[in-house]
């Protein structure tokens, strides 16, 4: 199994505040990790780094063995392999279809292929028949499922989830947990932030605990 | 009270009879305001988006300057443009003074800061998750910004309409740069000022009613779009 990410001497600072200080962290391909820690431990900062949304203040990130160069070239290439889903995801104005198709359009996928991928993603989260509904009129749980479908439609190499199940009902939680737990078998690497102490066990993943921006419990090493 | 009621009745008759003077003033007002608004939007929207989306030294100063420009009295703008367009001015050779073109130039200077400021406010008030969401779904910078613009389109439309409102309702620039020439540069506002001073209160009131109706229709249009 190869390393999807390798973080070397990563620091992320906001002014004089060190939000993240990781000596070394390896995330294996096709594995599921739960990221836990108190508020302000640096979990969301780490996820933003892994999503290539913000560069580290210092240190190196390697993605699939390749050093990420934050200063040169577009980050689009990396961002198209990784998708981040927030606790309260933003749904664009328009229909459910418009939202789920957004990333596919950005990748130039058109016509019937796009429609098939949207329908399949909506089926996967149990939202058949929702494609023409207005996104802004959905309930919180439905919106979360649309955001999940929007992410999964892209078949990302890595799915990053920032407390995706925090504000939704038990039934939807069960559905999405089953879906998330099935992703590593399809080759998708999953990193999920959670405050639910039972969730790591339910998802059968490996745990990474952050404390004060540092990795407190090293997870089992991954052979590179 | 009788005076107001009879003037109001006369005003309605003038509007209903499509008095040429009323039609000319309304036409000039709308044409000049629309022209100025288009150019103000072309300058103001990109400026507001640029300032709102980028960080640069002296940004606060630029924002303060834009805010200040919104409050510049119309006669000062008129005076400034008059200085450039008058026969002795640097652009006097173009012969633009007392033409609709001069009024459009003045209108652009009045409306552009408003459009820019409102566009800037829309960007600042936008949901901070829009751009990161677009980026993490694989959008490039341009598509992410395009998506942001799409999401705040009603704010930008409101900016354009506010710019139009500023131009269509002002007197100073239209009077100083247009000269209030009947059938050519006479607008609703300059005609109201002139005719009322001549005692033609009903005529002024007729134009006032049209002006208010235009404002109402523009805002109804905006509301209609927002509800869609």
Residue of chain A nearest B140, judged by CA positions: A76
Using an 8 Å Cβ cutoff, are A213 and A44 in contact?
Answer: no
The shortest C-alpha distance from B136 to chain A (Å) reads 5
Tell me if the pTM is above 0.90. Answer: no
Binary contact (B137, A83; C-beta < 8 A) = yes
Using an 8 Å Cβ cutoff, are A7 and A178 in contact?
Answer: no
Residuewise pLDDT in 10s, chain A (224 residues): 789 999 999 999 998 899 999 999 999 999 999 999 998 899 999 999 999 998 999 999 999 999 998 876 668 889 999 999 988 899 999 999 999 999 999 999 999 999 999 999 999 998 989 999 999 999 888 998 999 999 999 999 999 999 888 777 888 888 889 999 999 999 999 999 988 888 888 888 899 999 999 998 655 544 44
The DSSP string of B106-166 is HHHHHHHHHHHHHHHHHHHHS-TTHHHHHHHTT--HHHHHHHHHHHTHHHHHHHHHHHHHH
Block residue for tokens 């640096």:
A42
In 3D, which of A142, A203, A136 has the Cα closest to residue A174?
A: A203
Exposed / middle / buried, residue B216 (Cβ in 10 Å: 0-12, 13-18, 19+): exposed
* Chain A interface disruption, residue of B127, B128, B130, B138, most A CBs within 10 A: B138
CB contact B135 to A (< 8 Å) = yes
- In the numeric block, which tokens belong to residue B6? 């009879």
- In the numeric block, which tokens belong to residue A85? 């889903």
Packed helices A96-106 and A111-124: angle between N→C axes, nearest 10 degrees: 120
Here the ipTM equals 0.86
Question: What are the residues whose beta carbons fall under 8 Å from the beta carbon of B65, sequence distance 6 or more?
Answer: none
Of B133, B136, B140, the CB nearest to A74: B140
């Amino acid at each position: 199994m190869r390393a999807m990410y390798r973080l070397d001497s990563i620091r992320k600072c906001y002014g004089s505040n060190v939000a993240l200080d990781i000596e070394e962290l390896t995330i294996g391909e096709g594995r599921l990790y739960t990221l836990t820690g108190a508020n302000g431990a640096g979990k969301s900062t780490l996820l933003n780094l892994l999503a290539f949304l913000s560069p580290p203040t210092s240190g190196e990130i390697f993605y699939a063995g390749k050093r990420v160069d934050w200063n040169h070239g577009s980050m689009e290439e990396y961002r198209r392999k990784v998708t981040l889903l927030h606790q309260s995801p933003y749904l664009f104005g328009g229909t459910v279809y418009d939202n789920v198709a957004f990333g596919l359009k950005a990748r130039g996928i058109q016509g019937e292929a796009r429609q098939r991928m949207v329908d399949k993603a909506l089926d996967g989260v149990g939202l058949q028949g929702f494609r023409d509904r207005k996104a802004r009129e959905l309930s919180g749980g439905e919106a979360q499922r649309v955001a999940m479908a929007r992410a999964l439609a892209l078949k990302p190499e890595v799915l990053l989830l920032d407390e995706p199940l925090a504000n939704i009902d038990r039934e939807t939680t069960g559905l999405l947990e089953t879906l998330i737990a099935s992703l590593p078998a399809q080759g998708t690497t999953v990193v999920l932030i959670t405050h639910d102490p039972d969730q790591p066990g339910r998802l059968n993943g490996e745990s990474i605990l952050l404390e004060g921006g540092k990795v407190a419990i090293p997870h089992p090493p991954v052979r590179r | 009270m009788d005076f107001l009621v009879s003037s109001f009745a006369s005003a309605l008759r003038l509007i209903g009879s499509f008095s040429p003077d009323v039609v000319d003033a309304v036409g000039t007002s709308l044409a000049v305001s629309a022209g100025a608004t288009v150019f103000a939007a072309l300058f103001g929207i990109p400026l507001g988006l640029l300032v709102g989306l980028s960080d640069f030294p002296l940004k606060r100063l630029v924002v303060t300057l834009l805010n200040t420009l919104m409050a510049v009295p119309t006669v000062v703008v008129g005076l400034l443009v008059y200085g450039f367009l008058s026969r002795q001015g640097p652009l006097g050779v173009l012969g633009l003074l007392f033409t609709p073109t001069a009024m459009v130039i003045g209108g652009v200077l009045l409306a552009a800061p408003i459009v820019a400021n409102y566009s800037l406010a829309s960007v600042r008030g936008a949901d901070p998750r829009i751009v990161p969401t677009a980026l993490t779904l694989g959008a490039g910078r341009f598509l992410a910004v395009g998506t942001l613009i799409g999401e705040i389109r009603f704010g930008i439309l409101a900016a354009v309409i506010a710019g139009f409102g500023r131009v269509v309702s002002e007197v100073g620039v239209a009077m100083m740069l247009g000269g209030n020439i009947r059938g050519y540069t006479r607008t609703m506002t300059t005609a109201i000022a002139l005719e009322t001073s001549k005692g033609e209160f009903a005529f002024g009131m007729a134009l006032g009613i049209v002006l208010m109706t235009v404002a109402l229709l523009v805002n109804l249009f905006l509301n209609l779009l927002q509800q869609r």
